[in-house]
Chains A and B, each alone.
Chain A
Amino acid sequence: NAGVTQTPKFQVLKTGQSMTLQCAQDMNHNSMYWYRQDPGMGLRLIYYSASEGTTDKGEVPNGYNVSRLNKREFSLRLESAAPSQTSVYFCASRARGRVSEQFFGPGTRLTVL
C-alpha cells in the first residue's frame, strides 16, 4: 500500500499560471482533504470531499478549485496562481466514521514567483 500519494513534490510557477495538484489514496477511504501549511500558521483546510461526488469549502478556499474524480483521486487546481499561494500543500484521507484519523500525503512545495 502506498497510502496517500501526491504529485508533483515541488513546483515553481509564475504569477498567473495555472496548475493542478494530484492526490490519490489506495486505502478505500471515503473522505479526502486539501490543506495548506504556511510558516507559523499550522495547517488550514482548503477544500474537502466527504464522499465521492461531493466537495465543500474549508477555511481558505479562495483561489482554488477541486475535483473528486473518483473514490481514489482528489485534485486541487490553481487557475491563476498568486504569490500568496506559495505554500506547502498536503492531501489527506480518512475512513468512514467519526473516530478515524486522517492520513497525510508527503506534500507538494509550491512557489509562485
Chain B
Amino acid sequence: AQKVTQAQTEISVVEKEDVTLDCVYETRDTTYYLFWYKQPPSGELVFLIRRNSFDEQNEISGRYSWNFQKSTSSFNFTITASQVVDSAVYFCALSEEGYGGSQGNLIFGKGTKLSVKP
C-alpha cells in the first residue's frame, strides 16, 4: 500500500536558519513520482518540484534543495537561510504508475507547518 509520512508536524525556526523537512514514502511500484507543494497562509497550493523514481539527482533551486534517496525511501526538502515568507505548510506527495484513469493520482502526507520568525 502506498503511504507518505511527514513526521514533523510543526517546525519553528528563526530567520536565516537552515531547515530540513522530512518525507518518507512507501510504494511497491518501481516507477513513481514524488512532489512537494507549498501552502502559504493565504491557502492556495503551489507546486514546487516533481521527481521521478529513476532520477536520484539532487535538485537545487535558489534557497531550496531536495534530496531524493531511494535506499531510505526519502525525499527531503531543505530551505537554506530561511525567510519569513517561507512560513507555510509544506506537503509531500506520491504518485504511482497507476493504470488507466488512476495515473497521476496523488497521495499526500499530512504536511509540515513551518514557522519562520524574524
Contacts and interface: CB of A to CB of B under 8 A. Distances in A.
A84 interface: no
Contacts of A40: 9, 110
Interface string A26-48: 00000101000000111111001
Interface residues on B, range: 20 to 34
B44 A50 contact: no
B111 to A, nearest CB: 5
A61 interface: no
B100 A90 contact: no
A94 B44 contact: no
Interface string B41-56: 0011101001010000
Residue picked from B45, B52, B111, most chain A C-beta under 10 Å: B45
A45 B105 CA distance: 8
Interface in B1-53: 9, 31, 33, 35, 37, 43-45, 47, 50, 52
Contacts of A58: 105
